Amino acid sequence: LPKPLEAAVPIVSRLEESGYEAVFVGGAVRDTVIGRPVKDVDIATSARPEQVMALFPKCIPTGLRHGTITIVHEGETYEVTTYRQESAYEDYRKPSGVAYITSLEGDLLRRDFTINAMALRNDGSVFDPFNGAGDIERRCIRCVGDADARFQEDALRMMRAVRFIAVYGYQPAVSTWKALRKHRELMRHIAMERVQAELDKMLAGSDPRRALVWLHASGLLHKMKEPLPLTEYMRVDSTRYGLVEQLADLDCRWAAALLDSAIPSAIADESLRLLKLSNNRRLRIIGIMRMHEEALAAANNEGADWWAETVIRDGKQLAEDWLLVESAIHASAVTPIDLKILKAQLNEFPILTLKQLDMNGRVLAQRLRKPAGPWVSRCLHRLLVSVAGGKLVNEREKLLMQAELWDKEDKSDE
Ligand code: ATP
Ligand code: MG
């Protein structure tokens, strides 16, 4: 058994010694059979929640309504869920009730895909009534039972199907894919936060480009509860999608995927709001996308100081993120942006903040003999950009002379 499962063996044994059945289920079993690293370990048992709680003093009744108890064991948490069956689904997402049952097979029957419906016992033997192992061998995502019914019960399963196809590099079974295409309209019942979580997992996987291609083919993004404006722009062209997987950071991957799909930043912004991304994440992704757009505009009309201005406005960190994103998408897009030069300049800006400028508003106002006003911060900013861009030396007297010169020019303009 892989380590995370090995660590949970005492919990399963404890349940068995008390006369109950207990097995590992879900993603941990799937990943063990495939040979991928195991993340969270879920346990299913014939014991009722109150019986589980009686056996384990350190437990938290996290999902009592669904029969789930979280057990803390040597610093790790494990979800232990009573075998259950789900009755009539409401809202295409949640069962209206759960009934505890005594049969493991009955519990596996409610699970979404055959590869997720295997159980693993303490002794390492696998109980696999729907031949999930066969589908792993065939690299196939297949619904347990009738695909039509399963997607109608819970429409989120369609998103999960695309995610497993993308992340595991599998193909859908023909019947599963047909049903998914047929019921894609049901996506309108799914909370946008859940969609976001699935998209995050798709983009975080080893093949984000595969995710985009399959997402596009599924048509699911076109049927959301809140229509996403990006679907109008998204272009799927299998020669694109750069090398998004080179990027370690998830938000950089989002920015790269959006840029590489030729989606304008304003459209992406609106779409990310609808997907309920946190403001922090959205601003970071959109900030990166805007840098790309500004860089293109500057390359086209020789905008001299744009890079200094951009870095001053958005900070060096975001600029570095953008350079990484830009080099990832450069694998697929030909652009006039010269990354080498920008990268070199980024490390050579003499200063990037007003604090570092050898000047302040009071001194400036005194020297120009003008009352303080909005002109002061405008002038300080202009000085900062000039110093950062290497056009001016950061010495008080030189800065004051430049400010006086600009002041004269402004007056003669009026
Ligand atoms: P991962 O943890 O890698 O995201 P997972 O398959 O473990 O994938 P979880 O959300 O942790 O996903 O769910 C654990 C198990 O619960 C699944 O393997 C599956 O058996 C079952 N399951 C989860 N969501 C659903 C669903 N919407 N419909 C039916 N069964 C589900
Ligand atoms: Mg899991």
Residue type, 208: P
Among all bound ligands, the one having the nearest atom to the CA of 163 is: 1
CATH topology for 139-227? Hydrophobic Seed Protein (1.10.110)
Give CA–CA dist 24/54, Å, rounded.
20
In 3D space, the residue among 43, 64, 42, 65 whose CA is nearest the CA of residue 53 turns out to be: 64
Domain ranges of the chain: 1-130, 139-227, 256-349, 354-413
Burial class (CB in 10 A: 0-12, 13-18, 19+), 232: exposed
Burial class (CB in 10 A: 0-12, 13-18, 19+), 382: middle
Mutate which of 92, 115, 116, 202 for ligand 1? The one with the most ligand atoms within 8 Å of its CB, which is 116
Helix, strand, coil percent content, the chain, rounded in steps of 5: 55, 10, 30
Give CA–CA dist 352/312, Å, rounded.
5
User: Which one is the CATH code of 1-130: 3.90.650.10, 2.40.50.140, 3.40.50.1170, 3.30.460.10?
Assistant: 3.30.460.10
Radius of gyration from C-alpha coordinates of the chain:
29
Per the DSSP assignment, residues forming a β-bridge with 86 are 98
- Atom index in ligand 1 nearest the CA of residue 27 equals 7
3-class DSSP assignment, residue 180: helix
Say how many Å lie between the CA of residue 331 and the centre of ligand 1: 35
Q: For each of the chain's 414 residues, which pLDDT tens digit applies? A: 899 999 999 999 999 999 999 999 999 999 999 999 999 999 999 999 999 999 998 899 888 888 999 999 999 999 999 999 987 777 778 777 788 999 999 999 999 999 999 999 999 999 999 999 999 999 999 999 999 999 999 999 999 999 999 999 999 999 999 999 999 999 999 999 999 999 999 999 988 888 988 999 999 999 999 999 999 887 766 556 668 888 999 999 999 999 888 899 999 999 999 999 999 999 999 999 999 999 988 876 665 688 999 999 999 999 999 999 998 887 666 677 888 889 999 999 999 999 999 999 999 999 999 999 999 999 999 999 999 988 899 999 999 999 999 999 888 876
Per the DSSP assignment, residues forming a β-bridge with 59 are 71
Q: Write the DSSP symbol of residue 337.
A: -
Both tokens of 383, joined, read 């000085």
Give CA–CA dist 26/22, Å, rounded.
13
Calculate the dihedral angle through the C-alpha atoms of 263, 269, 270, 271, rounding to the nearest 10 degrees.
Answer: 60
Both tokens of 97, joined, read 């009730």
Give CA–CA dist 132/123, Å, rounded.
19
Q: Cβ distance 174 to 209 under 8 Å?
A: no
In 3D space, the residue among 266, 332, 256, 312 whose CA is nearest the CA of residue 288 turns out to be: 256
Helix axes 279-301, 265-274, angle to 10 degrees: 170
Q: Which residue has its alpha carbon closest to ligand 1 atom 2?
A: 27
Q: Which residue has its alpha carbon closest to ligand 1 atom 27?
A: 157
* Check whether domain 354-413 has CATH 1.25.40, yes or no: no
Give CA–CA dist 244/248, Å, rounded.
9
Burial class (CB in 10 A: 0-12, 13-18, 19+), 19: exposed
The set of protein residues with a Cβ atom below 6 angstroms from ligand 1 is 26-27, 39-40, 42, 111-112, 116-117, 154, 156-157
Residue type, 9: V
